[in-house]
Chains A and B, each alone.
Chain A
C-alpha cells in the first residue's frame, strides 16, 4: 500500500511537471509571437519610411534594407594610351573598373571599384 502511494505521488508529480512545462512553452510562444509581431510592425514602418525617403522624386537610393536584396556587378575594361612606334598612339587595356547594382534575384554582395587590376578570369 505504501509503495502504491509513493507511485501515485510520483505519477502526480510527473503530471504537474508536464503541465508546468506545457504552460511554460505556451507562455513563451505567446510572448515570442507578440514580440515578433511588434518588431515586424516596427520594421515594416521603418522600411516604409526608408522607401518613402528613397523613392518619389528623390530617386531610388539603393542600399540594402533589411539585408534581403543582393547585388549584381560587372567589370568594365579601362584603357590607356601607349605609343606604338610607327603606328602612333594606340589604346591598350589597363585594367577594369567594377560597378554594382541591386538585384533581388542575387545573393551576392556589392563589388565596386575604380579602374584597377581586373578581379575575375585570372588576370
Chain B
C-alpha cells in the first residue's frame, strides 16, 4: 500500500531537480536572449553602407589652395539703410537676384545682389498676427519666402517682398528646415518612435511621414544648420552630431555620404565629448561636382571631395582675404559667406565663391 507512495526525500529530490532545471532553463534563456541581442546589435551596426565614404585626412598643417576648387571670388558690399544695423547672420537663402538674410536680432533683410542695396527689412517679434518669437532658419522657392520660428513652432510664409501671407503651425519644435516639392522637411528636436528625426509635412502643416532614428547622439553640435540643396534642388541632410549625409529622394531619406576622419591624429585631446579639440563634421554643401565639407580639427578646415575622381583635398583654406572661408549658403554654382568688415554690424560684405566647374 505504502509502496506506491513516493518517499518524501524522493519528492524533495524531484522538486529540487525541477527547480534546478527551471533555473538552468532560465539561465539558458537569458544566455540566448543576450546572445540574440548582441547579434542583432552587431547586425544593425554592420548594416552595409551603400553610399560613398569620404576620407578626410587634412589637418591644420595642410594648406588648401582656394584656386583648386574656386575659379573666382566676387564681393558685394551690402548696404543697409542709413539707420539700420544688421545683427550677426543666422541664415541666408538666395533667389534670382536677391539675398534674404535672417540675423540673430530677429530681422529679415532683403538685398539686391547686383547692387547690394537693401530692398526691405522686417522685424516682427511678438506673439501677434504675423509675428514670430525666435526665427532660426529661412528658405525660399519660386513664390515665397519661408521663415522657421523655432520657439513659435511654426513656419511663417511671406511673399517675395516679405509681405506676410500665412502661418503654418507645427506640432513639434524644429530648428532647421528645407522646402521640398511635397511640402517641407524639418529637423524634429523632440523625436520619438512615432515622430522621428526628419519630418515631412505638407503645406498645411500635416505630418505626412517621418524618418531616421530618434537618438540624439550628442547635445553639443557644431552648427544648427543641417539642410542644404544642390544645383538640381535636391535636398541633403547632415544628421546632428553625425558623420552621415542623407539625400531626400523618392519620398525617403537615403544615406549617401559618410565622413571618415580616420587619419587625423594631430590632436591628442581629440574627443567627441570635447568639440573644441575633436575632429567634427560641421556642415557640408553638395554641388554637381563636389561635396564641400567644413569640419573642425582645432581650426575650421575644409575638405573638397571630387565626385568624379573620387578624391579628396583638405586643409586650411587661405582665401587671401581678411575673411576666413566659412560659407553659409550654396546657390547656382557658388558658395556664399557674409562677413562684418569692421565689426560694427554696419558694413557687411557678401562674398561669392564661384565653384570651379570640372
Interface residues in chain A, defined as those with a beta carbon under 8 Å from any beta carbon in chain B: 53-55, 57-62, 72-77, 79, 81, 84, 86-93, 96, 99, 101-105, 118, 120-123
Contact = CB atoms under 8 A, between A and B. Distances in A.
25 contacts: A58-B127, A59-B151, A59-B169, A60-B151, A61-B127, A61-B152, A62-B151, A74-B220, A74-B240, A76-B220, A77-B223, A86-B318, A88-B324, A89-B321, A91-B299, A92-B300, A101-B151, A101-B190, A103-B190, A105-B190, A105-B192, A118-B220, A118-B275, A120-B219, A120-B273
Contacts of B263: none
A121 B173 contact: no
Contacts of B329: none
Interface string B130-152: 01110000000000000001111
B190 A81 contact: no
B320 interface: yes
Contacts of A104: 190
B268 to A, nearest CB: 14
Contacts of A86: 63, 318
B312 to A, nearest CB: 19
Contacts of B300: 79, 90-92
Contacts of A81: 323-324
Interface residues of B, number: 48
Interface in B320-337: 320-324, 326
B89 to A, nearest CB: 12
Interface of B: 60, 63, 127-129, 131-133, 149-154, 167, 169, 173, 175, 189-190, 192, 216, 219-224, 240, 271, 273-277, 296, 298-300, 316, 318-324, 326
A99 B271 CA distance: 22
A57 B150 CA distance: 15
Contact of B169 (A55, A84, A122): A55
Contacts of A91: 299-300, 324, 326
Contacts of A123: 274, 276-277
Contacts of A90: 299-300, 316, 324
Contacts of B131: 58-59
